[in-house]
A and B are shown apart, each in its own frame.
Chain A
Amino acid sequence: MSDAIKPDVTMDLKGLACPMPVVKVSQQIKKMQIGQILAAETTDPGAHADFPAWAKSTGNEILSTDKKDTVTTFYIKKLK
């Protein structure tokens, strides 16, 4: 359940188009500590494929994905 996840940082990426959601998240995650959680709210349909691909390449983990109407929130745990 995503209700149980307490993000350390929440980012509003709604309305942003490719490649900005992934770019912004990569910039933010650099400033965070290992083990912290970032919640990224996005409306970009491409994000559903992009965030898992980004996480796999950078060695971070997507804990869960929460979709409400057009907004999808990705809970990302910094592992590296």
Chain B
Amino acid sequence: MDVQQTLDSLKNEMNQLRDERKNKLSMVVFSGDLDKLLAAFIIATGAAAMGMEVVQFFTFWATPALRDKKKKGKGKDLFGKMFGFMLPRGAGKVKLSKMNMGGMGTGMMQYLMKRKKVASLPDMIGLAAEMGVRQYICEMSMDLMGFKQEEMIDYPGREFVGVAKFLEEAGDSKIQLFI
């Protein structure tokens, strides 16, 4: 292959890559820390405001943040019950990654956020739903931690999926984040 040919085929490939990317943000939300979850939702709602299509894929420690404190999962085994007891029951119960100080730090932060009119995490989840941010939850995390679908918050259009679904979404996204 001569140089010109190589250049042309590279150009073609680049154009293809460019065209395949949509004005879309795909995000893995892995962390169960209040601060990182807030960042994930601020970026998600901000991106939706910028006119982007937004997808959030919740996995591992971020999964319990989507539990509904008023709902209960039925038919759990011993491990499921243990995880259910030890992990936070919903977005109102997650803690800061730093300066938690047995919950005092988190309480202080929540107080400050209210005073400075920073939206709370549960409010941000509601806002994300309102703005059409799509939500996927990792089925494997649900199964591993023994969470039942009926104990999760109501969210329009939410699906329980595997890694391939995330990769399909991320594949044609302009921005991909792992939080």
Contacts and interface: CB of A to CB of B under 8 A. Distances in A.
Query: Are A and B physically bound partners?
Result: yes
Interface of A: 15-20, 22-23, 25-27, 53-54, 57-58
B63 interface: no
B117 A23 contact: no
A25 B131 CA distance: 12
Nearest to A60: B51
Contacts of B42: 18-19
Interface in B27-73: 42, 45-46, 48-51
Interface of B: 42, 45-46, 48-51, 116-119, 127, 131
Contacts of B46: 18-19, 22-23
A30 to B, nearest CB: 10
A17 B49 contact: no
A58 B118 CA distance: 24
Contact of A19 (B49, B116, B117): B49
Q: Indicate the member of B45, B46, B48 with the most A CB atoms within 10 Å.
A: B46
Given A19-B46, A23-B127, A26-B51, 4 more contacts: A17-B118, A19-B45, A22-B49, A23-B131
Contacts of A19: 42, 45-46, 49
Contact of A16 (B51, B117, B131): B117
A17 B50 contact: no
Contacts of B51: 26, 57-58
The 8 closest A-B pairs by CB, nearest first: A26-B49, A19-B46, A57-B50, A17-B118, A23-B49, A22-B49, A58-B51, A15-B117
